[in-house]
């Protein structure tokens, strides 16, 4: 599990994550092969996973748009938090594709991340995440799961990853 950046009480008071304007939004979490297997092993219905290795969003019962199939809109909590997918663990940080470069970025739509952007706390967490993601195992995971490398907008770049290294 990746250590979380945003405190739980802040997350639970926010109404931003896990909601999407379109069923095919870039923000819908992509799944690693091991995420898919973990969900299936826990008897998650395969219909909640799409063929393009994403969580299949469901219509938002309270307003227009969609929500994550594992999001409880009443409690503002994740139903699978203890075994949530890699991208969900990583958020508000994202693996981003821009100009043929793979980057670690942060979502500026996350109010907490945006407020902390230029703080020692943000720098310390970014350093932790960079060290974690730059291990050979994690670089290999990124290389083997290109579906988690998306083209996000409204993000701030942190570091570029080198995935073409034979050691990765």
Parallel, antiparallel or unpaired: strands 93-98 and 101-107: antiparallel
Contacts of 45 (CB under 8 A, 6+ apart): none
In the beta sheet, which residues pair with residue 160? 103
| CA separation for the pair 48, 66 (Å, rounded) | 13
pLDDT for residue 168: 42
Closest C-alpha to 91, from 4, 158, 12: 4
Helix, strand, or coil (residue 75): coil
pLDDT digits (tens, 9 = 90+) for 1-25: 899 999 999 998 988 889 999 999 9
What's residue 154's pLDDT?
86
Predicted confidence (pLDDT) at residue 162 exceeds the cutoff of 50: yes
Q: How confident is the model at residue 117 (pLDDT cuts 50, 70, 90)?
A: very high
Q: How far apart are CA 58 and CA 100, in angstroms?
A: 32
Q: In which band, very low, low, confident or very high, does the pLDDT at 165 lie, cut at 50, 70 and 90?
A: low
In sequence order, what are the residues at sequence separation of 6 or more whose Cβ sits closer than 8 angstroms to the Cβ of residue 61? 73
* Pairing state between β 66-67 and 77-78: unpaired
Whether 49 shows a pLDDT value over 80: the answer reads yes
Q: CA 4 → CA 91, 112, 129, 143, 165, distances in Å?
A: 8, 12, 10, 23, 28
Q: How far apart are CA 41 and CA 150, in angstroms?
A: 26
Q: pTM for this one?
A: 0.90
The span from the CA of 47 to the CA of 150, in Å, is 23
């Amino acid at each position: 599990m990746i250590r979380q950046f945003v405190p739980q009480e802040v997350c639970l008071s926010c109404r931003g994550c896990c909601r999407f304007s379109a069923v095919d939004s870039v923000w819908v979490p992509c799944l690693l092969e091991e995420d898919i297997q973990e969900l299936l092993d826990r008897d998650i219905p395969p219909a909640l996973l799409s063929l393009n290795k994403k969580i299949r969003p469901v219509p938002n019962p309270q307003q227009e748009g969609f929500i994550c199939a594992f999001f409880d809109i009443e409690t503002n909590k994740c139903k699978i938090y203890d075994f949530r997918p890699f991208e969900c663990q990583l958020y508000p940080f994202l693996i981003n594709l821009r100009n043929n470069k793979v980057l670690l970025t942060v979502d500026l739509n996350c109010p907490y991340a945006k407020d902390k952007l230029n703080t020692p706390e943000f720098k310390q967490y970014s350093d932790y995440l960079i060290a974690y993601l730059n291990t050979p195992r994690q670089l290999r995971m990124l290389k083997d799961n290109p579906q988690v490398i998306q083209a996000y907008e409204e993000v701030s770049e942190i570091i570029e990853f080198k995935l073409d290294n034979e050691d990765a």
